[in-house]
Structure 1
Amino acid sequence: MQIAIASGKGGVGKSSVAAALIYLLKDDYPLIAVDADADAPNLDLLFGVERWEEEKELVGAKVAKINSETCIKCGICAERCPYDCIKILDENYVVNELTCEGCGVCRLVCPVNGVITLEEVRSGVIRKTTTKYGFPLISAQLDVGRPNSGKLVTEEKEWAKRIMKEKGIEHMIVDSAAGIGCQVIASLGGADVAILVAEPTPASLNDVKRVYRVVQHFREPAYLIINKLDLNPGFKGLYEFAKEEDIPIIGEIPYDRTIPRSMTMLKPVVEAFPESKSSKALKGIAEVVKEQILK
């Protein structure tokens, strides 16, 4: 079983919910966790990871390079660059590697062959460790200004699948990134179930609708968790959305200050404050996941 936890909107508590569910399920089910937010991974912080056992570089991005010795300084490349990343520096045309997308337009329009080349550079790094709780964690970090965040997530999941096969692990829980971009598509692709996390606000409702359309594209069953339940009393938009789309609501988590406190302790809230109101709600959700999803 591969479970993807997504939200559409950032800041709704998706990673905190994911960390809590992973912690509550780890003793009953062999599982591996994947942090699929390559832009801003944080699942390792919630589990107090201090070191990585293994790292792999992903090389796949391309950036343009201009040979200043053979460049005739006509400026056509700078004029035609769709990303405006070619500038003059010390009388030479140079490429800003942080904004270059490696599209190759500059090389195509350059009147002198061989002056501009496309060179492969590192997109990011994928990391693996065994947490102090005993389950493996795969994470990734996208380098600044690099593309291929979706490719990083895909490679994360492939690595996780190999570990599952080697160690007889049955389940993968993927903590997706916010939004509906490449990372989220890679997170949801191949998943058996999507658990959506939202807070009772119009912005969160709008974004969870967007990510649900991605879930529908993959024809995956979806479940909804409403976090920070009492943040906006009287807001019924999430309930109406769930009813219209026939999405089961598997839990409601009240707003609870122990959650940010547990983050500062580098622990899931259900470990740091097991008797808090949010922990009790999360334990109930974990039981529903066991009965309805992992049965």
Structure 2
Amino acid sequence: MQVAIASGKGGVGKSTITASLLYLLKDDYSFVAVDADAEAPNLGLLLGVTEWEEEREHIGAKIARINTESCVRCGICYERCPYGCIYIDDEGNYVVNELTCEGCNVCGLVCPVAGTITLEEVRSGVIRKATTKYGFPLISAQLDVGRPESGKLVTEEKEWAAKLMKELNLEHMIVDSAAGIGCQVIASLGGADVAILIAEPTPASLSDVQRAYKVVQHFREPAYLIINKADINPGFTGLEEWAEKEGIPILGRIPYDRAVPESMSMLKPVVEAFPEAKASKAIVEIAEVIKREILG
């Protein structure tokens, strides 16, 4: 089974909860974990990963290059670039800013001198693998600064994870999605068997988790909800009302607990660092529900 954990909004505790669930499930199931936030991966940090066993470069982005020797300095590319990424250097040459170039090739199409402006493939980022100290493998990715294709990185992560499942005879793939509803999240939810949504009781989180749920609905996946920091906004019932209306089962509620940020500074899941904390006890109960209702 492939389980995707998403939130729609950043900062609601998705990765910290995911780390704790992985810790609690590791003794009963075999699985590979995937950190599908290529722009800001941190699941490895929460699992104490300090070294990566293998890294693979992802080549796919394209940027424009201007041949200064054949360039006639007409300035048409500078005028027509839709992203404003062409500038004039100290020597009067037209140069492409690699961090902002989108590889659209408008400059190459308008250039009057054939072959002066070309598109070149460059690295978008790296995909890496580690075996956590808990025994299960983790696949992560890191997008390079200013590069597109975060969704393709996540897709390659999941392909690598799927191969590991076959090679190691693993039962499940658990994917920690990025925030938002962009390419990374779409790639995370695509192909999943079930989605676990995490939200906190605030209007902003409700709005964003509703948007994430629309992506889940697009893929026709069953969804479940975890309410984190459940006691920070007494009287707010928007999440429960929305879940009831949509028929989304609530797996559990986790109270706000200062033990969570403290465990993060220790690079450990809270259920390992502080098993008696109130948040840890709530996550343990949720893990039992996941075992019973989802993983079987």
TM-score by length of 2: 0.99
- Could you tell me which residue of structure 1 aligns to residue 17 of structure 2? 17
Alignment partner, residue 181 of structure 1: 182
Paired position in structure 1 for 2:84 = 84
Deviations 1:113-134 (A, max 9, x none): 0000000000000000101100
Deviation track 1:232-268 (CA, whole Å, cap 9, x = no partner) reads: 1111110111011110001100000000000000000
1:271 alignment partner in structure 2: 272
Would you say 1:249 and 2:263 are equivalent positions? no
In structure 2, what is the Cα distance between the partners aligned to 1:124 and 1:233? 43
Other-structure match for 1:158: 159
- Cα separation, 1, equivalents of 2:171 and 2:63: 40
> What's 2:63 paired with?
63
1:206-221 aligned within 5 A: 206-221=207-222
* Unaligned stretches of 5+ residues in structure 2: none
* Aligned length in residues: 295
Which runs of structure 2 are paired with 1:1-295 in the superposition (5 Å)? 1-90=1-90, 91-295=92-296
- Runs of 4+ aligned residues of structure 1 deviating over 3 Å after TM superposition are none
Report the Cα distance in structure 2 between the residues aligned to 1:238 and 1:110, rounded to whole angstroms. Answer: 55
| Aligned mates of 1:244, 1:88 — CA distance in 2 | 57
SS at match of 1:230: coil
Query: What is the letter of the counterpart of residue 44 of structure 2?
Result: D
How far does residue 43 in structure 1 lie from its aligned partner after superposition?
0.5
Q: Which one-letter code corresponds to 1:53 in the other structure?
A: E
Letter in 2 for 1:294: L
**What code does the residue aligned with 1:167 have?**
L
User: After superposition, what is the alpha-carbon deviation per residue over 1:26-82, rounded to whole angstroms, capped at 9, x for unaligned?
Assistant: 100001100000000001110111110000000000000001111011111111111
Kindly provide the amino acid, as one letter, of the partner of residue 11 in structure 1. G
Instruction: Give the superposed CA RMSD.
Output: 0.5
> What is the CA–CA distance in structure 2 between the aligned matches of 1:245 and 1:125, rounded to whole Å?
38
Give the superposition deviation at 1:218.
0.3
TM-score normalised by the chain length of structure 1: 0.99
